[in-house]
Amino acid sequence: MKGVPTSIRNHISGPVAPRESAALDCQTAFQRIAESCARLIQRSRKSAIAADPEAIHTMRIELTRLRAAVLFFAPMTNDIGGSPISKELRWLNAALGAARDHDVNMSYARRKRYRSWAKRSRSSFLLSQSKSHRRLARKLNSARYHRLIVELDHWITKGSWLSDAQPLRSERVNGFSQVRLREWRREISRDGHRLRALSSKRLHRLRINCKRYRYIVAALQALKVPLVEQEAGFCDIARKVHGALGDLRDLRRLRNAGHGRPPGYRKRKQKLLQEAERPFLRRSSEKRT
C-alpha cells in the first residue's frame, strides 16, 4: 500500500493478540491503540476519496479514537495539544468533519419526517455535499496527508517521548487508567449535573468529553485491561449523553443549513436535552438512596 509505513502496513491483516493484560504497561497500551487507529484510518482512505459516507465516518471515528488516546496518555507523552503532530491531526479532523456534516444533513433530508421540509434545500444540500467530498479527496490525496501518516507512525514508534526519562511508560496501564478515568468522570459529571445551564460551547465540550471517555474505555477493554465496574457503568451514561447531544448538534446544523426550522424542531430539541440530562439525574437519585 503506497504511502503507508511498514509498521502500520504489517498490522493490516488483523490485530495482534495483546499480551497478558496484568503486565501491560502504559507505553505498550498507547502504542497498540494508536497503531490500530492509524491502520484503520489508512484502510478507509481510498473509499473516503471515492465519497463513501461510511468510509468517511469510519476515518473520523478512528481519528477521534486516536486523538482521545493522545490526550488520555498525555502525562506520558507530554503532548498537550500544541505539538506539530496534534496540529496535523486537527487539520485532518476538520477536513473529515466538514464532509461528514454534509453527509448527515443529506441523511436527515431523506428521512420521511423532513423530506417535505427539505425540498427547497435539497439542491443546495447536494451541492454542498459534493463540494465537501471533492475538498476532502484533494486533502486525502495531498502530500500533507501522506506526510502526516509517515510522521504519525514515526511519532508512535520512535517519537521523542520515548527518549525522555518518563517513568509512566513502564507503569501498569490498569493503575494509570483508573486514576485517569476518574479525572475524566469528574469533569463529565460536573458539567452533566448542570447541563441545562451550559452554553452551546460547553454542551459541545461535554459531548466531546463523553465521546472520548467511551472510546478510551472501549480501547482498554479491547486490550483486556481490567476495569472496575464503575467505569463500565459510567461508560453507559457517557454513551447516552454523547448520543443525545450528538443528535441535538445534527438537528441544529440542519436548521442552519435549510430554510427555517425543521418540523417539530423545538419539541425534538427539548426531548434531546431531557435524554442527555436524565442519566445524571438518575445517578444523583441512586446516590441519595
> Which residue bears the cell 438518575?
282
Give the count of beta carbons closer than 10 Å to the beta carbon of residue 206: 22
pLDDT tens digits, one per residue of 211-220: 999 999 999 9
Please, how many CA atoms are within 13 Å of residue 106, restricted to the half-sphere of its CB? 17
When computed from its CA atoms, the radius of gyration of the chain, rounded to whole angstroms, is 20
pLDDT band of residue 233 (cuts 50, 70, 90) is confident
* Selection from 15-19, 175-179, 279-283, 285-289 with the highest mean pLDDT: 175-179
Please tell me the distance from the alpha carbon of residue 14 to that of residue 10, in angstroms, as a whole number. Answer: 9
CA 132 to chain centre: 20
Q: What was the pLDDT predicted at 279?
A: 93
Identify the CA nearest to 247 among candidates 72, 71, 113, 70.
113
Whether this model's pTM surpasses 0.85:
yes
Higher pLDDT, 15 or 180: 180
Range 157-178 average pLDDT: 89
Tens of pLDDT, residue by residue over 258-270, are: 888 999 999 999 9
Q: What element of type H or E holds 7? A: helix 6-9
What pLDDT, on a 0 to 100 scale, did the predictor assign at position 23? Answer: 72
pLDDT at 45 over 70: yes
Helix 84-109 × helix 143-158 angle, to 10°: 120
Cell numbers at residue 22, please? 496484568
Break the chain into its structural domains and give their ranges. Answer: 25-167, 172-284
DSSP-assigned beta bridge partners for residue 172: 25
pLDDT of 21 reads 59
pLDDT confidence band for 55 (50 / 70 / 90): very high
pLDDT at residue 16 greater than cutoff 60? no
Give 125-145 pLDDT, tens digit per residue: 999 999 999 999 999 999 999
Does position 189 have pLDDT exceeding 50, yes or no? Answer: yes
At 17, which helix (H) or strand (E)?
none
**C-alpha distances in angstroms, 215 versus 66, 70, 102?**
9, 12, 24
CATH number of 25-167: 1.40.20.10
- The pLDDT value recorded for residue 8 is 37
Read off the DSSP letter of residue 25: B
String of DSSP letters for 184-199: HHHHHHHHHTTGGG--
Query: Does pLDDT of 77 surpass 80?
Result: yes
Q: Are 135 and 264 spatial neighbours (Cβ–Cβ below 8 Å)?
A: no
Question: What average pLDDT score do residues 217-225 get?
Answer: 94
Cell numbers placing 255: 436548521
SS3 label, residue 172 = strand
Report the C-alpha gap between 110 and 54 in whole angstroms.
Answer: 16
- What pLDDT was estimated at residue 17? 41
Q: Per-residue pLDDT for 288 more than 80?
A: no
Using pLDDT thresholds of 50, 70 and 90, give the confidence band for residue 247: very high
pLDDT score of 283? 75
The CA dihedral of 74, 78, 84, 86, to the nearest 10 degrees, is 0
Q: What is the mean pLDDT of the chain?
A: 89
